[in-house]
């Protein structure tokens, strides 16, 4: 299940000192993952479309804003 490069949506704010949450389409459904920003200074609000940059099994991803 390659996650790197997949897009998803933020459901729990991501930011410095926070563990956020994102929903990512997987296997015909949607699954939740813990999320951290790739740049530790970034804040990514709820509702933002993100792209997965790193995946750490079982449920942690590092993400960036898909729109830049």
CATH number of 7-65: 2.40.50.140
- Would you mind telling me the total number of residues written for the chain in this entry? 68
Pairing of strands 29-37, 60-65: parallel
What was the pLDDT predicted at 5? 97
- What residue segments make up the domains of the chain, in order of their start? 7-65
> Over the stretch 24-61, which tens digit does the pLDDT of each residue have?
999 999 999 999 999 999 999 999 999 999 999 999 99
What was the pLDDT predicted at 68? 78
Q: How would you write the chain as a 3-class SS string?
A: CCCCCCEEEEEECECCCCCEEEEEEECCEEEEEEEEECCCCCCECCCCEEEEEEEECCCEEEEEECCC
pTM over 0.85: yes
Residue of higher predicted confidence among 38 and 1: 38
What was the pLDDT predicted at 1? 65
Any idea which residue has 């729990």 for tokens? 12
């Amino acid at each position: 299940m390659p996650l790197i490069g997949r897009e998803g949506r933020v459901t729990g704010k991501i930011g410095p000192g926070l563990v956020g949450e994102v929903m990512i389409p997987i296997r015909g459904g949607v699954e939740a993952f813990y999320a951290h920003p790739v740049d530790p200074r970034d804040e990514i609000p709820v509702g933002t479309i993100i792209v997965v940059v790193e995946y750490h099994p079982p449920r942690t991803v590092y993400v960036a804003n898909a729109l830049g």
